[in-house]
Amino acid sequence: MRLVVAALSAVLLACGAAPVLPGKGPPTGPRLDLNDVSFLMPLPVAGKEASLLSMADDGMMGPLLPRRLYDGLPLLVEKQTGDGLYRELRVISARVDPCFPGSAPPAAPTCVKQVRLVAQPVFVKDGALTTRDATVHLFYSLDAAAFAGVVQHLFALDASAGTMTDGALDVHPVMRRQGLDGPYHGRVKAMILEACGFATLSRVAFMSVDEQGRQWRFGAFNVVGGAFVDDLIPRLPTLKVQAVQEFGTESFRNGALIPGAPNDTLDTLLSETSMRLLDPRTLNKALTSALRIEHPERSSPKTIDCASCHVASRARRNAETFHRVDSTGHADLFTAPGFDLSRIDAVKDDPKALRAFGYLGRDSAMSQRTINESAAVAQALEGLRPN
């Protein structure tokens, strides 16, 4: 999640580039698209797990997640071992963020340049590689020179991909065509290992799951002086961990945030019973909450709790599909002319798919927030394209 496009523009001005305003792409020539700034790796075949970066992989900045820091995380999957999960964790997606919020209100917001990685445990089941329903989200904060190097990589990757990366955000089309041992993924890995490692690791978030796959827990740590420091949940500032539970189906939601944020009706979209009882005005308030969570100019990680962010997209679409709500033309609906903002992930509206940019089993899963952020980032970084 990120600050508003105005803040992104300020960063670009500070770097000596003209800002790119909403709906104003470059007049001619190539343009960064969603798959040029956000990379969802295809799952390899069984036995080729090493094609994906591991937490112990060591680049210019050290290992991506040292074992001693990993040991400070809660157990990601019940009934599994910490040793086994650490070995299974692989980087399955990467994103570039020129303006991650560096301070919380009421302090003046600041922009932190980052590369963000998502790692999931991958393992072989029934002869094919799949994922466990848990994640580690790694944030690497970069200085201006290091981030400029990342941007150079992005433009080189864009040039090599041509039009193959155009269109909706998806399992990366070039990596899917070339395979993970192809040159494109090789360049992405080189970019990651050049910029990311213990020396630049600034934050680690996690999502863990219970044995039954019915409750998911969210939390985060800041990395200060090489150690974890608890990061409190936005809107729930006395809590370090927040949860989501779901016992329903795509057509009959039966879930809840534990706890939900005060004075927010989003939680009602997780319950079919609640939606049937609500009046249209209250339902519209819940829809507005979901749309603001999905909108990169309306909210940030400093203003939205983790669980709400992860449930908003599928809860909204469920309400629009089965109930009397419609986001068409809504004032808080994010738009980005020239970009395809369709959500085409394989999990569709499975209520147990809480992934923002990864996999549920073997199926791709992403949130509308991730798609919208990718458009805003592509638009902002385009202003740095060399003449």
In a domain, 301, yes or no: yes
Please give the residue range of the domain that contains residue 148.
5-382
| Mean predicted confidence (pLDDT) in 293-322 | 94
| % of the chain with per-residue pLDDT over 70 | 91
In a domain, 352, yes or no: yes
What's the number of domains the chain is made of?
1
Residue owning tokens 């940019």:
357
Q: How far is CA 6 from CA 18, 232, 369, 379, in A?
A: 12, 27, 18, 12
Least confident interval from 5-14, 166-175, 306-315: 5-14
Measured in residues, the chain has a length of 387
Q: In the prediction, which pLDDT does 284 show?
A: 93
Residues 58 and 55: their CA atoms lie apart, in Å, by 8
| Mean predicted confidence (pLDDT) in 333-337 | 97
Name the H helices within the chain. 5-14, 34-37, 67-70, 82-88, 144-161, 173-178, 183-195, 272-277, 280-294, 306-322, 368-382
In sequence order, what are the residues at sequence separation of 6 or more whose Cβ sits closer than 8 angstroms to the Cβ of residue 145?
A: none
In a domain, 387, yes or no: no
Q: How far is CA 240 from CA 145, 213, 230, 232, 235, in A?
A: 34, 21, 7, 5, 11
| Mean predicted confidence (pLDDT) in 106-111 | 66
CB atoms within 10 A of CB 328: 6
Quick one: the chain helix, strand, coil %, rounded to 5?
35, 25, 40
- Neighbouring-strand partners of residue 90: 54, 120
Burial string for 123-148 (b: 16+ CB within 10 Å, else e) reads: beeeeebbbbbbbbbbbbbbeeebbe
Q: What is the mean pLDDT of the chain?
A: 91
Q: In the prediction, which pLDDT does 105 show?
A: 56
Residue owning tokens 């986001």:
327
pLDDT band at 162 (very low <50, low <70, confident <90, very high): very high
Cis peptide before 234 (omega within 30 of 0): no
pLDDT band at 30 (very low <50, low <70, confident <90, very high): confident
Task: Inform me whether the pLDDT recorded for 304 exceeds 60.
Answer: yes
Residues 300 and 207: their CA atoms lie apart, in Å, by 18
CA 301-187-354 angle, to 5 degrees, is 35
Q: What are phi and psi of 260, to 5 degrees?
A: -80, 160
In a domain, 372, yes or no: yes
| Mean predicted confidence (pLDDT) in 14-27 | 36
Task: Inform me whether the pLDDT recorded for 5 exceeds 90.
Answer: no
In a domain, 116, yes or no: yes
How many Cα atoms sit within 13 Å of 111 on the Cβ side? 23
Structure tokens at 385: 């394209």
More confident residue, 201 or 324: 201
In a domain, 238, yes or no: yes
| Mean predicted confidence (pLDDT) in 296-306 | 92
Q: Is 104 helix (H, G, I), strand (E, B) or coil?
A: coil
